[in-house]
Amino acid sequence: MYTRILAPLDGSEVSEQVLPYTRSLAAGLSLPVTLLYAVEPEHISIPQSLNPGLHLEELAANRARHARFYAESVAAGLRRGGLRVETATPSAEPAAAIVEEADKDPGTLITMSSHGRAGLARWWLGSVTDKVLHLTHNPLLIIRAGSGQQTAPESAFERLTVPVDGSELAEEILPHVVYLSAAMGLTVDLAQVNPSGEEYYRSVSIGPSETMQGIPSYEDYIRVLDGESEGYLAGLKERLAGQGAAAVETRLLHGPVAESIADLASATANNLVAMTTHGRSGVGRLVLGSIAERVVRQSGDPVLLVRGGQGGGAAPLTGALALA
């Protein structure tokens, strides 16, 4: 399914917090890594009166040399761990450079921090990462990085938390889930989140003690919905197990979707959340910019996002290494 990993960096320790996860995936999937440092054209110039001997061409050349030195130094550390690593230092706006490089190979998995710092804080969720997510057709693994955090030397994955909502769009993540589970021996936690009583009564605009003709009580509603969800999850578990997933468990949760998924992920060590960036169930329970972003922000775990709706539904799974 994946043929290489593309790891964009911006020269900051914050952006480097994705490297332990990149190492783990590259080793577990036997993939080469491309480190990309985009040398973005600066809009700051030094007045000639302050340094008459300095030319903009020299400034750009110096920044390009720095980028190559930095990328190679990071690559050297990864190579000492037995990984195959290349570097790329294009002169371009970061998001555009990342998407262009990923487009060279549809099997590229992008791994990047949700934000980083270089100069005037150039990366943050909602900027470079958000642009890449909206522009790329490649899967994107995001970690929520933060200044002051220590970069872990290693990170080993053991489990996959996979939110589903009964929709074909949400299920477009499943070929990736089967591939990762089979290749790395990961246990899959299939999770569906149904509304809490508070959410239900708010959506139908009545209170728990009120009645309205044709509106069932929450107890009646959730009994039927939970029964349908349990049947759906059981069928999905059987399907994934038959297609090569190492192990599959199911979780039926109640409450706000993002918070429930984030809490489940946070309570699970060495976990990777995997989900499509949007899905539909009722009025839309998994929505890009809402659920996916909040899971990234709140869980603290890496999140693998695949933009849904590109292929008209979930791809058929014909084996552990089926292509999406």
Q: Give the pLDDT confidence of 138-175 residue by residue, as tens digits.
A: 999 998 876 545 545 566 899 999 999 998 888 999 99
State the pTM of this model: 0.83
pLDDT (mean) for 12-20: 90
How far apart CA 199 and CA 80 sit, in angstroms, is: 52
Read off the pLDDT of residues 188-203 as tens digits, 9 standing for 90 and up: 999 999 999 988 888 8
Q: Look at residue 135 in the predicted model and tell me its pLDDT.
A: 86
| Cβ-based burial of 153 (10 A; exposed 0-12, middle 13-18, buried ≥19) | exposed
173 three-state secondary structure: helix
Q: Which CATH superfamily is domain 159-306 in?
A: HUPs (3.40.50.620)
pLDDT (mean) for 272-286: 62
Question: What's the one-letter identity of residue 294?
Answer: R
Q: Which DSSP letter does residue 249 get?
A: E
Q: Look at residue 285 in the predicted model and tell me its pLDDT.
A: 40
Q: Pick the more confident residue, 179 or 146.
A: 179
How far apart CA 164 and CA 306 sit, in angstroms, is: 13
Residue whose structure tokens are 């996959």: 160
* Closest alpha carbon to 22 in 109, 116, 118, 137: 109
Q: Look at residue 130 in the predicted model and tell me its pLDDT.
A: 77
Residue whose structure tokens are 């909502």: 165
Lowest-pLDDT choice from 22-31, 54-63, 275-284: 275-284
Whether residue 12 is predicted with pLDDT greater than 70 in this model: the reply is: yes
pLDDT (mean) for 65-75: 95
* Closest alpha carbon to 117 in 80, 90, 145, 85: 145
Q: Are 23 and 154 in contact (CB under 8 A)?
A: yes
Could you give the percent of the chain with pLDDT greater than 90?
52
Q: Look at residue 149 in the predicted model and tell me its pLDDT.
A: 53
Q: Look at residue 312 in the predicted model and tell me its pLDDT.
A: 40
Overall CATH class of domain 4-41+57-143: alpha beta
* Closest alpha carbon to 8 in 150, 136, 120: 136
Q: Which DSSP letter does residue 128 get?
A: H
Whether residue 23 is predicted with pLDDT greater than 60 in this model: the reply is: yes
For residue 163, which phi and psi values (nearest 5 degrees)?
-75, 135
The whole-chain average pLDDT of the chain stands at 82
Whether residue 286 is predicted with pLDDT greater than 50 in this model: the reply is: no
Q: Element (H or E) spanning 4, and its range? A: strand 4-9
Q: Which DSSP letter does residue 150 get?
A: P
pLDDT (mean) for 89-94: 91
Whether residue 236 is predicted with pLDDT greater than 90 in this model: the reply is: yes
The ranges of the chain annotated as CATH 3.40.50.620 are 4-41+57-143, 159-306
Whether residue 222 is predicted with pLDDT greater than 90 in this model: the reply is: yes
Give 16-56 as a DSSP string: GGGHHHHHHHHHHHT--EEEEE--PPPS----TTT-TT--H
Q: Look at residue 126 in the predicted model and tell me its pLDDT.
A: 45
